Structure 1
Amino acid sequence: MTVTVTPPVRREVSVSRRVRTLAGLSLLSLALLLAAILAGAASTGAGLRTIGHDAGPQVLATTGLYRQMSEMDALVAETLLLGREYGPQQQADLTAYDQRRLEISENLLKAYRLALDNPTEQRTVEALVEGLGRYERLASQARLLDVQSGHTAGRPPRPVVQAYQRATDLMHRELLPKAYNLTLETGTIVRRAHDAERSTTWLAGTAVIVIGLLALVCLLVLQTYLTRKFRRVFAPALVFATVLGAAGLVTGAILINRQGQALEEAKRRGFDSVLTLTRARAISKSMHGDQSRYLLDPLRKDTYEHTFLDKARTIAAVESTSLPDYQSKLQANFQGLLGGLTGEDRARTFAAYQRFQQADARMRTLSGEAAIKFWDGELTQAYESYDKVLEELVRRHESDFERAIDSGDGALETLWRLIPAGLVTGALLILVGVRPRLREYR
């Protein structure tokens, strides 16, 4: 009787091959986990850079164009209305006019840089630059005629008013609409970045969890196999590798989620709020300019009253048929640009806005020098108080925006510093853990 004994070599080769296979799968899964984490971090980080450091701040700068241009036109109307006895105040207005012009130039330059890959936006910026040049020539002509007339406070001579009409028509019919459209166009860059990165963040987080769990399964299977085949309770290096893999999974998922939350907060609580409130400030400044134009040009007083009402409805919308009707029906449950405010912010803003509207209603019951004095005193003070409330809200949301971006940047920095080191260390520990077992088969 012949007994055939199977050589043990085949079994040894099979075991070593399985160890190598399981170790290779564990290393591959850790590599894929690292790749998923870094890819998700890079994508979300790109969104944070777009919104927080690149397009976002530049879009907010272009939003200021509407307000600055409205203020330029309002300052021209104010200097023409005041007369020679208000010489120091006229000079202060002209200094402010020059400052607004400088700010507009800087913001147009930012807008042009932002629009380098968009010919339509470039043409809009170029048209604004050319149009502002024409506006300044017309405004200078009105100022020159006003100085030559030497009139006292009140409506200037008809040639002065006609020259200003050409300037303000250019501003409101051509330049301000283009400035508003430019903000809408550049704002799409931020919206697209936000929408794209929101979906990318979700996919990246899902991929990290799935691949991370796969890596842990591979490590546990490897540990279990070695324990059963070599009769050892555990391999310390593999235990530490498993711990590092689990830490990489949890930390990576948390940091990517933190980046996504920072992106969402920066967009909604920061960027969107600042954009809305800045637009409300710009329109409110234009409303204040309509008040001075109402006094400057009686022949167009009905037109300026109507445009004032349209802008008021944009700021705080209530059902009304005329400006007096609007001002009498103005209630705290308004909608419009400021309709999204809540709590104390809403109550405080409404109170300031209502005082501004009440002062406007009072001005329109006066005439001549009395109306001008009231406009220059109580009405302007009411507007400035209201504008200060809006400015404080803008600054607060700007701070929220900056904090959210800083939080996202901090998460990204932590991720790049810790995760790769941890997972690479885990990979090395896998090699350290299986090497002694493989040496037994040499």
Structure 2
Amino acid sequence: MTVTATPPARRERSVSGRVRALAGLALLTLTLLLAAILAGAAGTGSSLRAIGHDAGPQVLATAGLHRQMSEMDALVAETLLLGREYGPQQQADLTTYDQRRLEISESLLRMYRLALDNPVEQRTVESLIEGLGRYERLAARARLLDAQSRHTAGRPPDNVVEAYQAATDLMHRELLPKAYNLTLETGTIVRRAHDAERSATSLARIAVIVTGLLALGCLLGLQSYLAGRFRRVFAPALVVATVLTATGLVAGLVLLDRQSQALEEAKRRGFDSVLTLTRARAISKSMYGDQSRYLLDRFRKDTYEHTFLDKSRTIAAVESTSLPDYQSKLRANFQGLLGSVTGRDRDRLFTVYQGFQQADARMRTMQAEAAIKFWDGELTQAYESYDKVLEELIRRHESDFERFIDGGDGALETLWRWIPAGQAAGGLLVLVGVLPRLREYR
């Protein structure tokens, strides 16, 4: 039997080819690992930008717009109700009215710029700008007629009330619904970005784990082959490359999780809470306006009492058949917009909200002149105490929102700065580890 020996040249080409193949496979899997990490970071970063810097702030701005517009209309009703002996307070209300008008104009201009790629939102903003111009003309006519009448505190003449009815109908039937629809439209963008991020992050984790394990397997396989073939226990460069790859895998997963958690917390504890509380505050301001409209407009007195009840149920839902029934059944286990508030904050909020409702109940039992004095004094103080607590909660959740977004941005910046550098260094170390062995076959 004849044994044919493998030529040395062919054997050398086989060994060098295997080293090249294993090294190339290791470099390929390192590249795939880096691509998986960066793709996951890019997806989460896009959602962070949408929720934290683009659509999210726009939604919160539109929610604030609803309150500012409600306050404008409430201030008009208040100036008409006070009468000439409240001249300084009327002037203060008109100054506040002008401030709200300026804030609304700035908000609408900012929204228009943010909606440059959305024709539907642009048209809604344009419609609001045009509608507010019509509202101001109607409100100015009501104030002019009121000034000409020179009435004392109480209900103004019927022609003043009729002029105000045209203005308030425009505000509540057309402008406020449009402002709320704008909030819903931009809120949809935030929800979609959040849902897309959750799906993308889940896939990114799987991709990072799979490619990371493959990269580690290839590096260990290359190290094992070189150690066995060249009689070396280990190659220092490949050991360091393996450590860098393992570190990159763990760090990539940790940073992706930090981004995802930051986004989740910003959405749940920041954005959602601020949006809910801001809407509650806007509706509460409208409720306060309904009280002045109730005193102002004898033709729609029952209507304003009913709308006050509907808004109260939206704020704190309680099973009831009438406003007095609602106010008597109001307990701390309410639901509604404020139902998500928990702990000590819920107790504080319930105390001041109940005080506001009790003051309203007292006002509705009084005669016109006494009711107006009570509304201008104790009832307004009760509302301001309630509004102050709402404002404090909103600011706290806004701070949480910004903190979580900043945390996500920080994790993203760390990932983009260090992970590519670490993986690139690992790739270079692979080359450093195999090139000396390949030179032996030249």
What TM-score, normalized by structure 1, do the two folds share?
A: 0.98
Residue 66 to residue 4, structure 1, CA distance change in 2 (3 Å): closer
Give the residue type in structure 2 aligned to 1:27. Answer: L
Give the residue type in structure 2 aligned to 1:51. Answer: I
Give the structure 1 partner of residue 90 of structure 2.
Answer: 90
Shift of 1:119: 2.3
Q: Report whether the alignment pairs 1:247 with 2:247.
A: yes
Residue 142 to residue 439, structure 1, CA distance change in 2 (3 Å): same
Give the residue type in structure 2 aligned to 1:270. Answer: G
Cα deviations by residue, 1:121-161 (Å, 9 ceiling, x for unpaired): 22221111111111100100000011111111111111111
Residue 68 to residue 4, structure 1, CA distance change in 2 (3 Å): closer
Distance in 2 (alpha carbons) for counterparts of 1:388 and 1:240: 59
Give the structure 2 partner of residue 21 of structure 1.
Answer: 21
Give the structure 1 partner of residue 75 of structure 2.
Answer: 75
Q: Report whether the alignment pairs 1:231 with 2:199.
A: no
Give the structure 1 partner of residue 278 of structure 2.
Answer: 278
Give the residue type in structure 2 aligned to 1:28. Answer: L
Give the structure 2 partner of residue 308 of structure 1.
Answer: 308
Q: Report whether the alignment pairs 1:409 with 2:428.
A: no
Distance in 1 (alpha carbons) for counterparts of 2:82 and 2:2: 125
Distance in 1 (alpha carbons) for counterparts of 2:169 and 2:428: 73
Give the residue type in structure 2 aligned to 1:215. Answer: A
Identity among equivalent pairs (%)? 83
SS for the counterpart of 2:183 is helix
> Mapping of 1:4-43 within 5 angstroms?
4-43=4-43
Distance in 2 (alpha carbons) for counterparts of 1:362 and 1:248: 67
Cα deviations by residue, 1:303-329 (Å, 9 ceiling, x for unpaired): 000000000000000000000000000
Give the structure 2 partner of residue 221 of structure 1.
Answer: 221
Q: Report whether the alignment pairs 1:44 with 2:24.
A: no
The answer as to whether partners of 1:280 and 1:338 remain within 8 angstroms in 2 is yes
Residue 324 to residue 117, structure 1, CA distance change in 2 (3 Å): same
Distance in 2 (alpha carbons) for counterparts of 1:235 and 1:3: 36
Shift of 1:388: 0.5
Distance in 2 (alpha carbons) for counterparts of 1:404 and 1:313: 32
Shift of 1:112: 1.8
The answer as to whether partners of 1:61 and 1:110 remain within 8 angstroms in 2 is no
Q: Report whether the alignment pairs 1:258 with 2:258.
A: yes
Give the structure 2 partner of residue 192 of structure 1.
Answer: 192
> Mapping of 1:38-437 within 5 angstroms?
38-437=38-437
Distance in 1 (alpha carbons) for counterparts of 2:6 and 2:99: 95
Distance in 2 (alpha carbons) for counterparts of 1:280 and 1:439: 74
The answer as to whether partners of 1:265 and 1:404 remain within 8 angstroms in 2 is yes
Give the residue type in structure 2 aligned to 1:325. Answer: D
Distance in 1 (alpha carbons) for counterparts of 2:12 and 2:2: 25
SS for the counterpart of 1:334 is coil
Distance in 1 (alpha carbons) for counterparts of 2:127 and 2:439: 76
Shift of 1:110: 2.2
Shift of 1:117: 2.6
Distance in 2 (alpha carbons) for counterparts of 1:253 and 1:73: 52
The answer as to whether partners of 1:83 and 1:151 remain within 8 angstroms in 2 is yes
Distance in 2 (alpha carbons) for counterparts of 1:83 and 1:239: 86
Q: Which moved more, 1:163-172 or 1:115-124?
A: 115-124
The answer as to whether partners of 1:223 and 1:234 remain within 8 angstroms in 2 is yes
Cα deviations by residue, 1:347-375 (Å, 9 ceiling, x for unpaired): 11111100000000000011122111100
Shift of 1:2: 7.3
Residue 3 to residue 279, structure 1, CA distance change in 2 (3 Å): closer
Distance in 2 (alpha carbons) for counterparts of 1:16 and 1:276: 66
Cα deviations by residue, 1:283-322 (Å, 9 ceiling, x for unpaired): 0000000000000112211000000000000000000000
Residue 301 to residue 2, structure 1, CA distance change in 2 (3 Å): closer
Cα deviations by residue, 1:16-75 (Å, 9 ceiling, x for unpaired): 111100000001111111111111111111110111111111111011111011000000
Distance in 1 (alpha carbons) for counterparts of 2:266 and 2:23: 43
SS for the counterpart of 1:210 is helix
Structure 1 segments unaligned to the other structure (5+ residues): none
Distance in 1 (alpha carbons) for counterparts of 2:182 and 2:76: 24
SS for the counterpart of 2:265 is helix
Count of residue pairs brought into register by the alignment: 442
Distance in 2 (alpha carbons) for counterparts of 1:163 and 1:188: 37
Residue 314 to residue 4, structure 1, CA distance change in 2 (3 Å): closer
Shift of 1:114: 2.9
Cα deviations by residue, 1:202-237 (Å, 9 ceiling, x for unpaired): 111211111011100000000011111111110000
Shift of 1:241: 0.2
SS for the counterpart of 2:117 is coil
The answer as to whether partners of 1:114 and 1:186 remain within 8 angstroms in 2 is no
Distance in 2 (alpha carbons) for counterparts of 1:205 and 1:307: 50
Shift of 1:4: 4.6
Shift of 1:201: 1.2
Shift of 1:3: 6.7
Distance in 2 (alpha carbons) for counterparts of 1:3 and 1:339: 88
Distance in 2 (alpha carbons) for counterparts of 1:26 and 1:62: 52
Distance in 2 (alpha carbons) for counterparts of 1:355 and 1:424: 64
Structure 2 segments unaligned to the other structure (5+ residues): none
Give the residue type in structure 1 aligned to 2:184. Answer: L
Give the residue type in structure 1 aligned to 2:234. Answer: F
The answer as to whether partners of 1:59 and 1:111 remain within 8 angstroms in 2 is no
